Amino acid sequence: MCQRFSRPSRRCGVGGYTSAVSSVIEQSPWPSHRWTAFRRALRDWYVREHRPLAWRPAPGQRGEPYAVLVSEAMLQQTQVATVEPYFDRFMKRFATVESLAAADEADVLHVWQGLGYYRRARHLHRAAKMIVDEHGGRMPSTADALIHLPGVGRYTAGAIASIAFGERTPILDGNVARVLARLFGIDASIDEPATKAALWSLAERVVAGRLAAGDLNQAMMELGARRCTPRGPKCPRCPVRGFCAAAQAGRAEQLPVRSGRRAPKAVTHRVIAVQRGRRWLFERRGDVGLWAGMWQMPTFEGGAQEPGAGRNAAEPRRFAAESFVAERFGVDLGEARAVGRFEHVTTHRRIAFVVHRAMVHGGRLRSGAGVWRTLDAADDLPMSNAQRRVVQMVAASAQVGCSIA
Ligand code: SF4
């Protein structure tokens, strides 16, 4: 039999992904009584087995809007178990949208520190300001209005509107897309715009009944996180197995189909830990780009082929650390000594960190170029996990008083 949502094939006689997917959506792949039974099975499982979380309302209840906003910002690209302690810490420090709006960005980044993807923190901060300045401190209550907040896309708007305000509006994130692709046996890439549009239509059907949309949306996310996992889906324990095309065809592991993703770009970040007595030099990154606004030890960023990038590079200690530091900070360095190296991978970059240290021999720190801190006091500066690791390496090397070549 011809699989619905399948790749185009002669046997199916359809013209491409778009027609294959959208025609099924137009016809609706399930009759309404099947949707009703599906929603009930999904919701009942969620009521029985949901994980109680600090930001999550009890089934049938509505969430506190500010807590839902913060949690949704933190949960983007991050798992629940990682978010939980950060959420508690954040809510203790910024208990209300007003307190967040009034905070300095550096304080917000510092509390967010370690969670990564710092753009989310800056967006959340700006969203809080907008809620206070333009909405009198009250969160907009519809997905259409929420989507105008910084950092709030269609998914996040739908999540907040349905969970906190009960709006019957869908969500589609990686978890939900995976569940739907398997339920309906969708062979087309879920990265294709036509497939995404089809998945949004299916997500709308999920919340179209009389059951609370917030519960159903959270149930779909919970199902994706705990049963319909990317690898090793737990189909025998799945509450909607009887509805699932992929499970019935024994193809759950093969779905969803993803388009090829670009490999992370290889780059090198060369750190010069600059020491003056007991204090070290730190600089603030610019306001845009990776780790914007975070602090770091002086770092020169280059491509993978910069001089000294490889272990066998001819002059790894003379990649111009002295002139780089003199030019940017106005201080003169003694001989740089190697501290160590490590790799840090982000969504788009594979970064080789190469760390050196050097003593100041002269010059004067240029105004506004950086600050001197002891390594202990540097705890107060918001820093990426990678730069925290740099500081730890430098601290260890300073303790033993030697270099690691
Ligand atoms: Fe996912 Fe398996 Fe459940 Fe289908 S039966 S939704 S593949 S866990």
- For this structure, is 72 an active site residue? yes
Token representation of residue 213? 């949309």
Strand 349-363 to strand 299-303: parallel, antiparallel, or no bridges (unpaired)? Answer: unpaired
Backbone phi and psi for residue 338, each to the nearest 5 degrees, phi listed first: -70, 140
Token representation of residue 224? 């994706």
Q: Which atom of ligand 1 is nearest to the CA of 244?
A: 4
What digits encode the pLDDT tens for the residues 171-205? 999 999 999 999 999 999 999 999 999 999 999 99
- Residue 179 Cα to ligand 1 midpoint, Å, equals 7
The neighbour count for residue 334, using CB atoms within 10 Å, is: 12
Does residue 161 contact residue 179 with C-beta atoms inside 8 Å?
no
Give the type of residue at 334.
G
Backbone phi and psi for residue 146, each to the nearest 5 degrees, phi listed first: -60, -30
- Low-confidence residues of the chain, pLDDT below 70? 1-28, 261, 303-319, 400-405
Q: Which of 293, 388, 284 is nearest to 329 (CA)?
A: 284
- Residue 224 Cα to ligand 1 midpoint, Å, equals 9
- Tell me which residue has its CA closest to atom 4 in ligand 1: 244
- Tell me which residue has its CA closest to atom 2 in ligand 1: 235
**Catalytic choice (26, 49, 64, 72):** 72
- Is any ligand 1 atom within 6 A of the Cβ of residue 140? no
Token representation of residue 27? 């016809």
Q: Which of 276, 248, 255, 272 is nearest to 323 (CA)?
A: 272
Query: Residue 116 has what pLDDT?
Result: 87
Q: Which helix (H) or strand (E) holds 231?
A: none
- Collapsing DSSP states into helix, strand and coil, what is residue 206? helix
Query: Residue 1 has what pLDDT?
Result: 33
Does residue 343 contact residue 350 with C-beta atoms inside 8 Å?
yes
- Is any ligand 1 atom within 6 A of the Cβ of residue 255? no
Question: Which residues, 6 or more positions from 251, have their beta carbon under 8 angstroms from its beta carbon?
Answer: 185
Query: Residue 303 has what pLDDT?
Result: 55
**Residue listed under structure tokens 């030019």:** 327
Q: Which helix (H) or strand (E) holds 385?
A: helix 385-400
The verdict on whether omega for the bond into residue 150 sits within 30 degrees of 0, i.e. cis, is no
HSE-CB of 23 using CA atoms within 13 angstroms: 14
What digits encode the pLDDT tens for the residues 361-404? 888 898 889 999 999 999 889 999 999 999 999 999 877 654 33
Q: Distance between the two ends of the chain, CA-based, in angstroms?
A: 64
- Residue 371 Cα to ligand 1 midpoint, Å, equals 54
Please report, for residues 12, 276, 401, the alpha-carbon distance to residue 338 in angstroms, rounded to integers and kept in the order given: 63, 17, 12
- Tell me which residue has its CA closest to atom 7 in ligand 1: 252
Q: Which helix (H) or strand (E) holds 236?
A: none
pTM: predicted TM-score of the whole model, two decimal places:
0.76
Backbone phi and psi for residue 332, each to the nearest 5 degrees, phi listed first: -100, 140
Query: Residue 403 has what pLDDT?
Result: 39
